[in-house]
Amino acid sequence: MRLTNSLSEHVRACFSGIWVETAEPEEALTEIRTLCEQQAWHLAHWNLETGLTLSGQGTAPDANLTAEDPLTAVRAASELASADTPALLVLENFHRFLQSSEIVQALAEQLNLGKQQRTFLVVLAPTVELPLELEKRFVVLQHSLPDREQLLTIARELATEPGELPEGQPLQKVLEAAAGLTRLEAEGAMSLSLIRHGQLQPETLWHLKSQQLKKSRLLTLHEGNESFSSLGGLQALKAFCLQALRSQQTTLQAKGVLLLSPPGCGKSAFCKALGNEVGRPTLRLDMGALMGSLVGQSEANLRRALAQAEAMAPCVLMIDEIEKGLAGSNTGAADSGVSARLFGTLLSWLADREPDVFVVATANQIEPLPAELTRAERFDGVFFVDLPGAEERQAIWSIHRTEFQIGDEQSLPTDTDWTGAEIRACCRLAKLLGNSLAETAQQVVPVAVSSAESISKLRRWASGRCLSANQPGIYQTTTVANGQRRRGLNIKPSAN
Residue 37 has pLDDT above 80, yes or no: yes
Residue 138 has pLDDT above 70, yes or no: yes
Residue 451 has pLDDT above 80, yes or no: yes
Q: What percent of the chain has pLDDT over 70?
A: 88
Rounded Cα distance, 239 and 415, in Å: 27
Residue 266 has pLDDT above 60, yes or no: yes
Average pLDDT in the 93-101 region?
92
Q: What residues have CB less than 8 Å from 201, skipping those under 6 apart?
A: 174, 193
* Confidence tier at 330 by pLDDT (50, 70, 90): low
Rounded Cα distance, 463 and 482, in Å: 20
Give me the pLDDT at residue 327, please: 60
Give me the pLDDT at residue 296, please: 61
Q: What percent of the chain has pLDDT over 90?
A: 29
Average pLDDT in the 142-151 region?
87
Residue 351 has pLDDT above 50, yes or no: yes
**In terms of pLDDT, which residue wins out, 249 or 412?**
412
Average pLDDT in the 31-45 region?
91
Q: Are strands 357-363 and 315-319 parallel, antiparallel or unpaired?
A: parallel
* Confidence tier at 199 by pLDDT (50, 70, 90): very high
Read off the pTM: 0.71
* Confidence tier at 215 by pLDDT (50, 70, 90): confident
Residue 483 has pLDDT above 80, yes or no: no
Residue 50 has pLDDT above 60, yes or no: yes
Count how many residues are written for the chain: 496
Averaged confidence pLDDT in the chain: 83
Residue 33 has pLDDT above 90, yes or no: yes
* Confidence tier at 291 by pLDDT (50, 70, 90): low
Task: Give SS3 for 315.
Answer: strand
Find out whether 208 and 180 touch, Cβ atoms under 8 Å. Answer: no
